[in-house]
Amino acid sequence: MGFKNIEQKVLSLCPYIKEIYIEKKDGKLFANIVPNFETLKAANIINIESEIRWYGVELYNLQAKKSQKILGYKILKDPQNKLEDKENEPNDEIYKSLKSFLYKISQKEATLNSHLELDLGLDSLDYVELFVFLELSYGVVIDEKIFSNIMVFKDLYNYIKTHKTFVKPSRVQWRDILDQKKDDTLIFSPIIMFIYKTLLYPLFRLYFRLEVKGRKNIPKTSCIIAPTHQSMLDGFLIESTLPYSILKNTFFLAFTQVFGTKLLYPIATHGQTILIDANIDLKDTMQRTATPLKMGKNLVIFPEGARTRDRKLLEFRPFFAMLSSIHNIPIVPVIIDGSFEALPSGKLFPRPKKIKLHYLEPIYPQDMSYDELTELVRASIEKNL
């Protein structure tokens, strides 16, 4: 299949892509992708990279031969005239305080045409913080549907200027956000979890020659378990290898886009899984995620947020570190090695490749910042790879 055929195939799969250009980098297929912003707005999408990855790149890779898989990509945006943006900047308190806040959460200077995700790098965590800031500072309440149409800085500014009820720039504390009471009740399934473990562990031992180290490192008190992410097998590998006394009190965080499908939803529902959608009810989602920890239970979070495409670690997202710091509980890093070969992206049936799991020593938050704790967990994993 030539590059043009690959491009056409991806375009036919993903309505969120306007243009795609395939090239070879270091012998691997690389995609340059221009989003279809109108389609994204119509679908109320606020995590553009995630949607393009799942419904464009990953969905294509499921059907592609190994030599034709896309192993890297970059999302492009129309160039902007930053000098012209600065010359036309408003000079009022709303603009100044909003720009200052965006710099605080992104460490990048926004201009009028900056896209909040593609230029400033904001993610779901930042969006929740932004939504709370807008409500506290200007009395402006927005949801994901509204936000999907104002993700360029000037559009967001104009919306706030039109809908504000006051101007009082305020501080946002994540502890206050996550500590808000939720009525959600966790669904415990200890018998189902016992059955899953009883069936999966001997099967994995036999089929994958599964080797497990370091289970003694898992605290008997509440903790966050943070594994590397190589394939769709990883959650099941953690589930099968945790001691039952820990497993019955453990919840798993997973994306609705993957585990909300007809095939996997029944498993997730009865598998103590908290499903999240990166485009809907973000604040509520973050609060639900913290629920097990408030109850003294455990939570499994994949810090990378996505499966590796080339065995290399992806960027670690700091939400797990934030939860650890706020609730003062340790993080147990976990190395999963071999599931990448056992179930590569695009394959439905796993191959009998050897898999190793290593539960590393727990890391306690102490007085570290979220970024420092995130980096320490990543460094621990890299050291032991």
Task: Give the C-alpha separation, 289 to 299, whole Å.
Answer: 8
Looking at the predicted structure, is the pLDDT value of residue 279 above 90? no
286 pLDDT band (50/70/90 cuts)?
confident
Over range 183-201, report the average pLDDT.
87
255 pLDDT exceeds 90? no
Q: How confident is the model at residue 179 (pLDDT cuts 50, 70, 90)?
A: confident
Q: Name the β-bridge partners of 275.
A: 254
Distance between CA atoms of residues 69 and 60, nearest Å? 8
Please, what are the domains in the chain?
3-75 (3.30.70), 82-172 (1.10.1200.10), 190-384 (3.40.1130.10)
Local confidence band at 262 (pLDDT 50, 70, 90 cut-offs): confident
**For residue 368, pLDDT beyond 80:** yes
What percentage of the chain has pLDDT greater than the value 90? 69
Nearest to 86 by CA among 123, 124, 114, 112: 112
Checking if the pLDDT of 254 tops 70, the result is: yes
Is 107's pLDDT higher than 80? yes
The pLDDT value given to residue 345: 73
pLDDT band at 81 (very low <50, low <70, confident <90, very high): low
Predicted confidence at residue 84, as pLDDT, reads 61
- State the pairing for strand pair 224-227/331-337: parallel
Alpha-carbon distance of 24 to 132, in angstroms, equals 43
Average pLDDT rounded to a whole number, residues 4-18: 95
- Radius of gyration for the chain, computed over Cα atoms and rounded to the nearest angstrom: 22
CB 299 within 8 A of CB 219: no
**pLDDT level of residue 8 (50, 70, 90 thresholds):** very high
> Which three-class secondary structure string do you get for the chain?
CCHHHHHHHHHHHCCCEEEEEEEEECCEEEEEEEECHHHHHHCCCCCHHHHHHHHHHHHHHHHCCHHHCEEEEEECCCCCCHHHHHHCCCCCHHHHHHHHHHHHHHCCCCCCCCECCCCCCCCHHHHHHHHHHHHHHHCCCCCHHHHCCCCEHHHHHHHHHHHCCCCCCCCCCHHHHHCCCCCCCCCCCHHHHHHHHHHHHHHHHHHCCCEEECHHHCCCCCCEEEECCCCCCHHHHHHHHCCHHHHCCEEEEEEHHHHCCCCCHHHHHCCCEEEECCCCCHHHHHHHHHHHHHCCCEEECCCCCCCCCCCCCCCCCCHHHHHHHHHCCCEEEEEEECHHHHCCCCCCCCCCCCCEEEECCCECCCCCCHHHHHHHHHHHHHHHC
Q: Does pLDDT of 307 surpass 90? A: no
Upper half-sphere CA count for residue 25 (Cβ side, 13 Å):
11
Asked whether residue 79 carries a pLDDT value surpassing 70, the answer given is no
**Residue 220: partners with Cβ closer than 8 Å, 6 or more residues away:** 245, 246
Token digits of residue 108: 């990048």
Q: Looking at 80-89, 259-268, 304-313, 347-356, which range is the least confident one?
A: 80-89
Mean pLDDT on 114-131: 93
Residue 314 pLDDT = 87
Bridge partners of 25, per DSSP, are 28
What confidence tier does 139 reach under pLDDT thresholds 50, 70, 90?
very high
Amino acid 233: pLDDT: 94
Average pLDDT over residues 155-177: 93
Question: Does the pLDDT at position 1 exceed 70?
Answer: no
Residues in CB range of 8: below 8 A, 6 or more apart: none
What is residue 87's predicted lDDT score, i.e. its pLDDT? Answer: 66
Two tokens, residue 380:
């621990």
Q: 83 pLDDT band (50/70/90 cuts)? A: low
Average pLDDT over every residue of 122-138: 93
Mean pLDDT computed over 61-83: 82
